Amino acid sequence: MQLWPYPNEKEMGFELFPSQARSETVIAKDIPNVPHRHFVLRLPPHATAATVVEAHHRLLREVRQVQEMTDSGPAHNVIITKEWICLIPRRHSGFERGVGVNSAGVLGLAWAVSDEEKNTWLSIGAAELLRFVGIPV
């Protein structure tokens, strides 16, 4: 598990794609310009633990259906903020291409601890690496 402060999207110059989800009941699974399968639900203000658990169960059912159809295995990322919960099914860790991709990475926040990792992200390209790590749309 990783905990990190939610980034200031205005300072970054872009919005994290799960922020585009608009519904607490209809699962967002076709947010534009996301290269991999994703499932997002908004959370109500002051969501309870039970609300978050139920949202997770709903999203996990979607993830499992996609994984069964694609024979991709059980791996997935879970990202939870106070506004939304997002699950992303995975096929690979990224290390197969020379760089690990964590939960922040599948959101588009590439973390590189060395120039070698940074160059790997740049040479492969973020969209291509995220299609490889996740299940392409």
Instruction: Pull the structure tokens for residue 113.
Output: 């601890």
User: pLDDT averaged over the chain?
Assistant: 94
Q: Residue 59: inside a domain, yes or no?
A: yes
- Across the range 105-129, mean pLDDT stands at 91
Q: Which CATH number goes with the domain that contains 127? A: 3.30.428.70
The residue ranges of DSSP E strands in the chain, in sequence order, are 39-42, 76-80, 84-89
Number of domains in the chain: 1
CA distance 97 to 92: 9
What pLDDT does residue 135 have?
Answer: 97
* Residues ≥6 apart with Cβ < 8 Å to 27: 39, 40, 41, 58, 59, 62
- Across the range 4-10, mean pLDDT stands at 86
Residue 96's pLDDT band, with cuts at 50, 70 and 90, is: very high
What pLDDT does residue 7 have?
Answer: 86
Q: Residue 34: inside a domain, yes or no?
A: yes
Q: What is the DSSP letter of 14?
A: S
- Across the range 97-119, mean pLDDT stands at 90
Longest dimension (CA), the chain: 43
Q: What's the domain range around 98?
A: 13-133
pLDDT-above-90 percentage for the chain:
82
What pLDDT does residue 108 have?
Answer: 86
Q: Are 41 and 24 in contact (CB under 8 A)?
A: yes
Q: At what angle do helices 126-133 and 115-124 cross, to 10 degrees?
A: 90
Q: Residue 1: inside a domain, yes or no?
A: no
What predicted TM-score, i.e. pTM, was given to this entire model? 0.92
Q: Are 92 and 102 in contact (CB under 8 A)?
A: no
Asked if pLDDT for residue 113 goes beyond 90, the answer is: no
Asked if pLDDT for residue 9 goes beyond 90, the answer is: no
Q: Residue 91: inside a domain, yes or no?
A: yes
